[in-house]
Chains A and B, each alone.
Chain A
């Protein structure tokens, strides 16, 4: 499915600044109206803070309880445990389509069916999923899907929330201001229909035009099937090459069909920051740190990883340079 179709029904697409704002919008507008004292909110252990903190804030506001569905030692969502957590009747399951640390793709179609059976809506954080594969929100069965422009080769400051029309229409406004009203009087305000109701203020026009150009390029010049094929191939090559580095441990699923990037790792005896510092000298930029996933770091028993993430332009030669840099890091640290 192309992005063009994703954006086909303008009423179901709310323009926001980024995935964080999209998820906050759901937690605020849908959450405040539908989650109450004693209710459960189900997340997973692999969530980015953008799909975790807004739900904790909602729980604090209304007196709900946040629970975390566990991952297994391969970094995959434990589906049996998920089933148990869903049987407790959460109002919402919010989870990443693809983990920004582990490269795990969550089987959203299967998960959505399970969640709906249990009476929960599904909020997908697509920041990492949308740039890597064709996304058909209807086939995935999710209720909301958040994307961010800067991961789609678009400018920063633009993103979108896709939501089911009936859910969006039932939601009260999020931010108040211009563009989101039907009529304002001294006594009060009536609100515009969706999506304008959720798009208060002057929009990020230039950024939206930039995102349109970027997704047109992804859809027509590259094709998202090809993008997925490249992502899988480069992730597989990286996993094969980094396995040659002594003392290196990868966090996330092993090599195999469907394993996407990024590839997160640590090297025994060298902190992730020092790994990234030395890789930088080789012209290889990785991110070191907790990747805004501190609950996941705690689950993995670490404070930081180095993370190699891939773009549509990443080549195997660049991965070879990454591995050369890792060997240099071991040399510098006398390993």
Chain B
């Protein structure tokens, strides 16, 4: 089996979950990966307690970015906005369950960045996700 393009990843790429647009969304955000032009648009409907009731995404992307957002959106229902905003990168990496190289990190994180921005109502602060480690750690390689 292919280490990166596992069946689960390809399945989410070919038939992404939560595909489309939520009608009358409470939260909405769209962004692109400036390095490749890939784009995703996320819409979220909240319930009375401000938790995610429904989420959908659409866009153009590679297997990694599409599968990552498909897997991530599967997990969002029931989360509060606060919880969404606090989701760490590692959360998405664990969902993917594959090694993501530095060059593909932006693909893997596109959906998370957009979902967090939607929850915040403004662009999420985002350090350069091109490196998997800190600069100090990279220097010891």
Contacts and interface: CB of A to CB of B under 8 A. Distances in A.
B5 A273 contact: no
A289 B36 contact: yes
B5 A290 contact: no
B61 A271 contact: yes
Nearest to B106: A273
Contacts of B35: 289
A313 interface: no
Given A273-B104, A274-B63, A289 B5 contact: no
Contact of A274 (B5, B37, B60): B5
Scoring B10, B37, B38 by chain A CB atoms within 10 A of each residue's CB, the highest score goes to: B37
A269 B15 CA distance: 12
Contacts of B14: 269
Interface in B11-54: 14, 35-39
B79 interface: no
A80 B104 CA distance: 43
Nearest to A297: B37
Interface in A290-304: 290, 294, 297, 303-304
A303 B10 contact: no
B107 interface: yes
B37 A273 contact: no
Given A277-B104, A303-B37, A272 B60 contact: no
Contact of B36 (A269, A304, A333): A304
A224 interface: no
A334 interface: yes
A334 B64 contact: no
Nearest to B36: A289
A332 B6 CA distance: 9
A288 interface: yes
B37 A271 contact: no
Contacts of A271: 38, 61-63, 66
Contact of A277 (B4, B38, B60, B61): B4
B10 A334 contact: yes
Contacts of A288: 36
Given A332-B2, A332-B5, A333-B10, A303 B63 contact: no
Given A271-B63, A273-B104, A334-B10, A303 B5 contact: no
B62 A272 contact: yes
Nearest to B9: A274
Contacts of A333: 5, 10, 63
Nearest to B5: A332
Contacts of B10: 333-334
A272 to B, nearest CB: 7
Scoring A270, A277, A288 by chain B CB atoms within 10 A of each residue's CB, the highest score goes to: A277
A132 to B, nearest CB: 26
Contacts of B39: 303
A229 to B, nearest CB: 34
Interface string A323-335: 0000000001110
Nearest to A328: B2
A334 B15 CA distance: 13
Contacts of B61: 271
Contact of A290 (B4, B36, B63, B104): B36
Nearest to A289: B36
Nearest to B2: A332
Interface of A: 269-274, 277-278, 288-290, 294, 297, 303-304, 332-334
5 contacts: A269-B14, A278-B5, A289-B35, A303-B39, A332-B2
Closest 5 CB pairs between A and B? A271-B62, A273-B62, A290-B37, A289-B36, A303-B37
